[in-house]
Amino acid sequence: MSPASPPVRRVKRRKRGVSGWVVLALVAGVGLLMLFPFWIALINAFKPAPDYIANGPVSLPTELDFSALVDFWGGVDFNRKLLNSVVISGSVALIAVTLSLLSAFAIGIGRIRGRIWILALFMLAFTIPQEALVYPLFVLTRDLGLYDTMTGVIIILAVLQSAFGTYMLSSVLGTFPPEVLEAARLDGASRFQVLRLVVLPLTRPTMAVLMTFFFIWTWNDFFLPLVLLPSADNQTVSVALGALSGQYTSDPTALAAASLAGILPALVFFLLFQRTLMRGVNLGAVK
Amino acid sequence: MPSTNTVTLNTATHAVTPRKGTSERRGGYWWYILPGAVGFLAVVAVPFGMNLWYSLTSWRGVGDPVFIGFENYQRLLGDPLFWASFRHSVAFIVAMAILPTAIGVLVAAVLFNYISPKFGSKVASFLRATYYLPQILPIAVAGVLWKWMYQPQYGIINTTLRDLGLGGLAQNWLGDSDLAIYAVMNVLVWLQIGYTVVVFMSGLSRVDPALYEAAELDGASWSQQFRTITLNQLRPEIAVVLITTSVAALKVFAPIFVLTRGGPGTSTIVPAYFSFSSFFTTTKVGYGAAVASVLALMISVVAVALLRYQTRNSEGFDDGRP
C-alpha cells in the first residue's frame, strides 16, 4: 500500500502543478495591472519632456531628469502641504482616538442607559454624507472665526472620525472581561484609574489600528478640507493635488511628477503600517 | 489576613449592593460621553438640522433665507439633473460594490484555497498587498494619475493603442459624454478591488478547513467547492461589504471632482457633486441642501439595513438590557 501511494500522489501534484502555475500567472497578471499605474507614474516623473514626446510613456527614461518633480514641488510649495497634512492628520488621529475611548468607555464598560440609541446616532454621524453638513459647517466656522483655519478642520474631522471609533471600540469594550474590572474596583481604583490603568493598556492594539486608520483617512480626505481650507497656505496634500487637475495639461511629465509626489507619502505609510492596515480593514468590515 | 479580607469584601459587594451600586456607577459614566456628545451636537446634529432648515428656504448664501416650504423638494422631483445624478449613482454602485465584490470573492478564494497551499502563504499575502495598494492612495492622487493616463493626445492608453496599430480605438475617454462614466467606473473598480480581497481573505481564514477536506474526499471540484462552501461561508462578509461599499458609492465625490467635474455636460454628475455645485458654484443653497437631505435619507436607509444586519449577527455586543 505505502509504496503505491507516493507515485499516485506525485502524478497528481505535478498535474496540479501545471494548472497551478497558470493560475499563479493569471493572478500575478492581475496584480501587475493593479501596479501598472504606479510604475508608469514612477518612470515618467523622471523623464525629460522631449524624451516623453519622442518615445511615449511606456519606455524607460533615457536619463534621469528631476526638473518636473522639482518644478512641481516648488510650484505648489509641497513641503508646506506635507507639513499641513502631517499636523492635521496627526492631531485628528490623536483627538479622535481619545474621544472614541472616552465615549466607548461609557458605553462598553459603563453600559449607560440608552446605549443602543447612542450608538445608532454615532453610526448616523459617520454614514451621513458630508454634503448634508458642509454648508452649515461653512457658516458656523465663518461665524466662529474658524473658517480657513486648520483648527476648524481638525475639530470637525476628529468628531466625525471618533463616531466610527466609538462604534468600533464600544463593541470591543463590551466584551471586556468583567473579572478584571471587578478586581480593579476591589483594589479601590476609581473609574478614571480603571480607564487609564486597566482598559487603556489592554485595548492598545485596537487603539493603534484606529489611530493608523484615522491618520490615513484624514490624509486622504478631500471634501471638507477642499471647502473649509481654501487658501494655499492651509491646503493639504490631497486638496493641492485635486485642485491642479485642470492645470499642467500641456506638460506631459508634470502630472506624472505630481502623482508621484502624492504617491510617495502614501507608500511610506503603507510600508510602515501594512499589518495594522490589513487588521483594520477587517475590524471595520466584520466586527 | 488581606486575602480573607478580599474574599469577604468580594462576597459583600455581590450580596449587598448590586442594585444601588450599579445605578450609582452608571450615572458616573455619563461624564465620559460628554465630550463626544458635545462634539456630535456641534458638528453633526446642529449642522444637519440647519441643513434641513436651509432645504425649506430659498437662499443664495447672502442675506436671509426665505421660507418656501417643500418647494425645493417639489422642484427636485421634476429636475432631470436630479434623476440623472441618481442614475449615475446606480452605475457607481455597480463599479464600487457589485463588480469589486464579485471579483474580490473570486480572487480571494483563488489566493486562499489555491495559491496559498501550493506556493505558500507568503506569495498569497504578497499578491494581496499588490491588490490593496490602490486603496492607500488619496483619491485625489488616483484621480490625477488616471486623468493623465486617459489624456487623449499623450496619455498612455491612447499612445499604446496607436503603437499597436489600433489608433482607431483611441478615444477622448473623459471628454466623450458617452464614455466618461465608464472611464470613471474603471478607476473605481481599480480602487476598490483591494478592499474586498482583504476582507474576503480574512473571512476565509475562519472557515473550518475540514469542510474543504470533506468536499475534496467526496470528489468535489474546485468550482463546486467554491459554490457550495466558499460562497455560503462568506455570506456575512459579502452582505456587509455590499452594504458599506454601496454607501460609499452613493457618497462618491472626489473622483468626480478630480476626473470630470460632473461633465462633459452632465454625463457624470452625482448627487454629492450636484449639491456641492449648488452650494458653491450656482449658489442655490436651499436647493443644494434639499439634494443633500435626500441623499442623507437614502444613505440612512442603507445604513440602517447594515446596523440591523450587524446587531443580529454579533452576540456579546449587547445583551438586550435597557
Distance CA B106, CA B185 (A): 20
Of A163, A258, A285, the CB nearest to B199: A285
Number of domains in chain B: 1
Average pLDDT over every residue of B164-190: 92
Domain membership flag for residue B240: yes
Best mutation target among B3, B17, B33 (most A Cβ atoms within 10 Å) is: B33
Which residue on chain A is closest to B242 by alpha carbon? A285
Q: Do A125 and B40 touch (CB under 8 A)?
A: yes
Question: pLDDT tens for residues B286-306?
Answer: 999 999 999 999 999 888 887
What is d(CA B51, CA B286) in angstroms, rounded to the nearest whole number?
8
Instruction: Give the number of other CB atoms < 10 A from CB of residue B11.
Output: 10
The Cα–Cα gap between A226 and A242 comes to 9
The verdict on A16 touching B (C-beta cutoff 8 Å) is: yes
**Residue whose cell numbers read 495559491:** B115
- Structure confidence at residue A13 (pLDDT): 46
Q: Please give the residue of chain B at the shortest CA–CA distance from A140.
A: B47
Q: Which A residues 153-172 touch B at CB under 8 Å? A: 155-156, 158-160, 162-163, 166, 171
Chain A residues in contact with B147 by the CB 8 A cut-off are 245, 255
Q: Which amino acid is at A51?
A: D
Burial of B179 (0-12, 13-18, 19+ CB in 10 A): middle
Chain A residues with CB inside 8 Å of B29's CB? 105-106, 109-112, 191
State the Cα angle at B229 between B228 and B234, rounded to 5°: 115
Nearest CB partner across the interface for B254, out of A223, A244, A284: A223
- From residue B207, alpha-carbon distances to A197, B23, B201, B230 in Å are 36, 42, 10, 8
E strands, B29-145, where?
A: 57-58, 66-67
**Structural domain of B202:** 73-316
Do the chains contact at A129 and B299, CB–CB below 8 Å? yes
Give CA–CA dist B6/B18, Å, rounded.
Answer: 17
Does residue B15 belong to any structural domain of this protein? no
pLDDT digit string, tens, across residues A97-120: 999 999 999 998 888 888 888 988
- CB < 8 Å from B in window 91-110 of A: 99-100, 102-103, 105-107, 109-110
Angle at B252 between CA B250 and CA B258, to 5 degrees: 160
* d(C-alpha B314, C-alpha B272), whole Å: 32
Pair B280, B91: CB distance under 8 Å: no
State what percent of residues in chain A have pLDDT above 90: 45
- Is residue A257 predicted with pLDDT exceeding 80? yes
Closest CA to B111 of A264, A31, A131: A31
Q: Say which residues have a Cβ less than 8 Å from residue A67's Cβ, sequence separation at least 6.
A: A48
Contact A252 B151 (CB under 8 A): yes
Could you give the CA distance from residue A224 to residue A238 in angstroms, rounded to a whole number?
11
- Say what the pLDDT of residue A138 is: 97
Whether residue B42 contacts residue A159, with contact meaning beta carbons closer than 8 Å, is answered with: yes
User: Comparing A167-171, A271-275, B316-320, which segment has the lowest mean pLDDT?
Assistant: B316-320
| pLDDT per position as a tens digit, B200-213 | 999 998 888 899 88
pLDDT in tens, B108-133: 999 998 888 888 889 998 999 999 99
Number of cross-chain residue pairs from A and B with Cβ atoms under 8 Å apart: 314
Confidence check: pLDDT of A31 > 70? yes
Chain A: residue whose CA lies nearest to B146: A37
The pLDDT, as a whole number, for residue A155 is 97
pLDDT score recorded for residue A273: 85
Q: How many residues does chain B have?
A: 322
- Cα–Cα nearest to B136, from A114, A34, A244: A34
Q: Is residue B9 part of a domain?
A: no
- Please judge whether B151 and A115 are an interchain contact, meaning their C-beta atoms are less than 8 angstroms apart: no
pLDDT in tens, A123-162: 888 889 999 999 999 999 999 999 999 999 999 999 999 9
Has residue B114 been placed in a domain?
yes
- Asked if this assembly's ipTM is beyond 0.90, the reply is no
C-alpha dist (Å) from residue B89 to A166, B178, B186, B246, B250: 29, 16, 14, 9, 6
Put simply, the answer to whether B50 touches A216 (Cβ < 8 Å) is no
CA distances to A238, B81, B157, B250 from B270, rounded to whole Å, are 21, 9, 26, 8
**What nine digits make up the cell of B15?**
450580596
Higher pLDDT, B14 or A273: A273
Does B5 fall in a domain?
Answer: no
Q: Give the distance from residue A134's alpha carbon to the nearest chain B alpha carbon, in angstroms.
A: 8
**Letter for the amino acid at B321?**
R
% of chain B beyond a pLDDT of 90 = 64
Residue B314 to residue A110, Cβ atoms within 8 A: no
When pLDDT is averaged across residues B48-62 and rounded to a whole number, the result is 95
On whether residue B54 sits in a domain, the answer given is no
- CATH number, position B82: 1.10.3720.10
Q: Which of B148, B157, B258 to mutate to test the interface with A (most CBs of A within 10 A)?
A: B148
pLDDT at position B154: 87
* Preferred mutation among A12, A18, A21, A34 to probe B, highest tally of B CBs within 10 A: A34
Residue B146 lies in a domain: yes
Q: Are B151 and A136 within 8 A, CB to CB?
A: no
For the stretch A13-29, pLDDT in tens is 444 578 888 999 999 99
* Interval A53-106: pLDDT, tens: 888 888 888 888 888 889 889 888 999 999 999 999 999 999 999 999 999 999
**Residues in a beta bridge with B66:** B58
Domain presence at residue B65 = no
